Structure 1
Amino acid sequence: MEQFVTSRDGTRIFAKQDGDAATDAPTLVFANSLGTTLELWDQVLPLLPDGMRIIRFDNRGHGRSDVPSGPYTMGAMVSDAEAVCDGFEVKDCVFVGLSVGGMIAQGLAIKRLDLVRGLVLSNTAAKIGNKKLWRDRIDIVRQKGMSGVADDVMSRWFGRAFRTSPDVKPWKEMVSKVPVEGYCGVCSAIAGTDFYTPTSGLRLPTLGIAGSEDRSTPPDLVRETVDLIPGSEFKLIRKAGHLPCVDQTEAFAETLNGFLYRIGHSVSAG
């Protein structure tokens, strides 16, 4: 099932539901990284346990969601995720966020703990980079366009083996198609976000996932964030870059499924 939901500021967010359609089924909500669409998770879905309700959405400025004028704020992006969850009558989901999606996950858990019973924070952090880094990124994107920076993005996302293989082509094409306004808008949201203090107040089952070859959010940064949450778990996936659901799909799915089983959100580990 596909539908648009309307966020608090009127932005339409494109969302898709797969798997079990019952609202009382154990639910997973996925949030994407900067520069990707909900297709980021296509390879993972067939490897998930049976009986799950799976909800994905395109971040504002990406895919089939609206592209409002920037800059965006993290508060607005969290409200987008909230609108998706409310639109699909989500309660007690496990929210899986990658990169900026992981920031959205933290913000949603802080704001609406009734929606989230567990977090998977993949290749993300409470604070990513600094304002100068993101300001410089925005300037380069506005000068060169998305196709002009796609190769650089691939070098941050993937290790050499994947980056030099034919498998990288669709991901480069995906980045090249992102609207400049949407990409820069989300960059601004990341630049203005520091969740160290609020995330340290969270108390819910949490899994952190990092890639050994991730140049965007190195493993130590991911571990530092998940360590803010007492009782959290951490998994390093070898030979994975910034998108382990892409370049190490089976290892990512196995890690996620094991967590879902341990916290009682699925009846099998895969």
Structure 2
Amino acid sequence: MKMAAINGTMIHYREDGDPDGAPLVFANSLGCDLRLWDQILPLLPKGLRIIRYDKRGHGLSDAPPAPYKMGQLVTDAEQLLDHLEVRDCLFVGLSIGGLIAQGLAVKRMDLVRAMVISNTAAKIGTADLWQQRIQAIEAGGVEALADSIMERWFPKAFRETPALHAWRNMLTRTPAQGYIGCSQAIAGTDFMTPTSGLRLPTLAIAGSEDGSTPPDLVRETADLIPGSKFHLIRGGGHLPCVDSPEEYARVLTGFLRETGHV
């Protein structure tokens, strides 16, 4: 396990693959840690330098008191990549990780040469919606929202498997301050204008059964970036790298090859 002092917070990260390979960076969704990507990693091409990290408030990273701002989360990613001496990565962000991807691509063109924005948007939800969720967590912890979150995350067939319990446990063990802080960051973020100014190879991935960021929302964000590609995983939920790992890895591998990253 590797830790780095980043932006005033201890951030947990992991590197796999070839340390001299082209960097492929993953940013996780709200309520998940870097294990989100475990199933697809063995299915990706060899020779990549794969970097994953737990954003603040999640996994083994510190959970400072809320609120957090999206600018902090973007700076966390930026400073971690600077710490690791990464340039020209392909950045994959899912949900809040996709917001981080957009913010980082706008801020540091030298860090991100291409990106995958998965199950995300330039603006996710409304301030009122996020405030309602924050109040529910303040009253009853993350457990209070766990069942409704599972319904939004996963298609019905996956929810009937034992694997669901692992993801529910990961969610409910997320520190309340971390979940609330990141929720506040999402609530305050509208990247419609800055994302529309991006000009880099972009792949948007959506799941047809995603109850958090429906396909039309993902496609709307993809359409902001000229030349972007959109892929719909039929039957996939909000975390298709979990419920549809083979298709997710195949699509990601195709994009890696198209962009000359492998």
TM-score range, shorter chain: over 0.9
Map Cα deviations across residues 142-177 of structure 1 (whole Å, 9 max, x no partner): 111122321111011001110121121100010010
Task: Give the residue type in structure 2 aligned to 1:247.
Answer: D
Q: Note the C-alpha offset of 1:51.
A: 0.2
Aligned to 2:51: 55
Identify unmatched segments of 5+ residues in structure 2: none
Whether the aligned pair in 2 keeps the contact of 1:5 and 1:83 (CA below 8 Å) is: no
Q: 2:16 aligned to 15, 18, 25, which one?
A: 18
Aligned to 1:149: 145
Query: Distance between the aligned counterparts of 1:158 and 1:141, measured in 2?
Result: 21
Aligned to 1:4: 3
Q: Note the C-alpha offset of 1:59.
A: 0.9
Query: Distance between the aligned counterparts of 2:85 and 2:259, measured in 1?
Result: 21
Map Cα deviations across residues 110-167 of structure 1 (whole Å, 9 max, x no partner): 0011000001000000000010000000001111112232111101100111012112
Aligned to 1:173: 169
The correspondence of residues 98-113 of structure 1 with structure 2, limited to 5 A, is: 98-113=94-109
**Secondary structure class of the residue paired with 1:235:** strand
Query: Distance between the aligned counterparts of 1:31 and 1:3, measured in 2?
Result: 16
Query: Distance between the aligned counterparts of 1:259 and 1:138, measured in 2?
Result: 36
Q: Note the C-alpha offset of 1:199.
A: 0.4
Q: Note the C-alpha offset of 1:12.
A: 1.2
Task: Give the residue type in structure 1 aligned to 2:5.
Answer: T
Aligned to 2:75: 79
Aligned to 1:66: 62
Map Cα deviations across residues 199-230 of structure 1 (whole Å, 9 max, x no partner): 00000000000000001000000000011110
Q: Note the C-alpha offset of 1:6.
A: 2.2
Q: Name the TM-score, length of structure 2 as normaliser.
A: 0.99
Divergent runs of 4+, >6 A: none
Map Cα deviations across residues 17-38 of structure 1 (whole Å, 9 max, x no partner): 000012xx21100000000000
Query: Distance between the aligned counterparts of 2:9 and 2:145, measured in 1?
Result: 27
Aligned to 2:25: 29
**Secondary structure class of the residue paired with 2:51:** strand
Superposed CA RMSD in Å reads 0.7
Q: Note the C-alpha offset of 1:92.
A: 0.3
Query: Distance between the aligned counterparts of 1:97 and 1:155, measured in 2?
Result: 21
Q: 1:202 aligned to 198, 205, 227, which one?
A: 198
Matched, 1:191 2:162: no
Query: Distance between the aligned counterparts of 1:113 and 1:260, measured in 2?
Result: 18
Query: Distance between the aligned counterparts of 2:75 and 2:12, measured in 1?
Result: 14
Q: Note the C-alpha offset of 1:3.
A: 2.0
Aligned residues with identical type, % of pairs? 60
Matched, 1:93 2:89: yes
Q: 1:123 aligned to 119, 133, 137, which one?
A: 119
Aligned to 2:211: 215
**Secondary structure class of the residue paired with 2:67:** coil
Query: Distance between the aligned counterparts of 1:144 and 1:199, measured in 2?
Result: 36
Query: Distance between the aligned counterparts of 2:100 and 2:110, measured in 1?
Result: 15
Query: Distance between the aligned counterparts of 2:246 and 2:84, measured in 1?
Result: 28
Query: Distance between the aligned counterparts of 2:162 and 2:149, measured in 1?
Result: 16
Map Cα deviations across residues 81-131 of structure 1 (whole Å, 9 max, x no partner): 011111111110000000000000000000011000001000000000010
**Range that drifts further, 155-164 or 204-213:** 155-164
Whether the aligned pair in 2 keeps the contact of 1:208 and 1:234 (CA below 8 Å) is: yes
Query: Distance between the aligned counterparts of 1:108 and 1:5, measured in 2?
Result: 19
Query: Distance between the aligned counterparts of 2:66 and 2:6, measured in 1?
Result: 15
